[in-house]
Amino acid sequence: MPTITTIGSFRFFFSSSDGVEPPHVHVELERRVAKFWLDPVELASTGRIVEHQIRKIQKLVTEHRLEFLKAWHDYFGN
């Protein structure tokens, strides 16, 4: 699972098998994993991460959206 970046205690990554889906990023926090679509930024699943953390993550995903999209397209080539 390629890690894109780590910000604080959040690890942003995608799986090598994710290329069949629209661009998205997984976010790991304390062994829990949420998923956000990137175009537009939208929560796909919470992975049982609590709401106040989801809000922080969504803000980070929005701020780093272009970086995540570039990593996605560089890796999957689409």
> Which residues are CB-contacts of 42 (< 8 A; sequence separation ≥ 6)?
36
Q: Are 26 and 13 in contact (CB under 8 A)?
A: yes
pLDDT at 6 over 80: yes
Residues 51-77 pLDDT 10s: 999 999 999 999 999 999 999 999 999
Collapsing DSSP to helix, strand or coil, 58 comes out as helix
| pLDDT for position 68 | 98
